[in-house]
Amino acid sequence: MATRTPAKPRKREAQVEGALVRYAAKKGVLTFKFSSPSHRGVPDRIFMCNGNVLFLEIKRPGERPTKLQEHTMRAIKNCGVAVDWVDNEDDGKAFVDSLLEAKGCGCIPAVLLSRPDGDHAMDALVNHCEELNAADPWESVKQDLGML
Tens place of pLDDT for every residue, the chain, 148 residues?
556 655 556 778 899 999 999 999 998 889 999 988 888 999 999 999 888 889 999 999 999 999 999 999 999 998 888 899 999 999 999 988 888 887 654 333 333 333 344 343 333 333 333 344 444 545 555 555 555 5
In a domain, 3, yes or no: no
Buried b (16+ CB within 10 A) or exposed e, 59-88: beeeeebeeebbbbbbbbbbbbbbbbbbbb
Give the model's pLDDT for residue 141: 52
Looking at the whole model, is its pTM more than 0.85? no
Nearest residue to 46 (alpha-carbon basis) of 96, 117, 89: 96
Give the model's pLDDT for residue 111: 38
The number of distinct structural domains making up the chain is: 1
In a domain, 4, yes or no: no
Q: For the domain that residue 134 is a member of, what is the CATH number?
A: 3.40.1350.10
| Domain that includes residue 111, residue range | 13-144
- The backbone torsions φ and ψ at residue 5, rounded to the nearest 5 degrees and listed phi first, read -80, 125
Instruction: Judge contact between 33 and 42, C-beta under 8 A.
Output: no
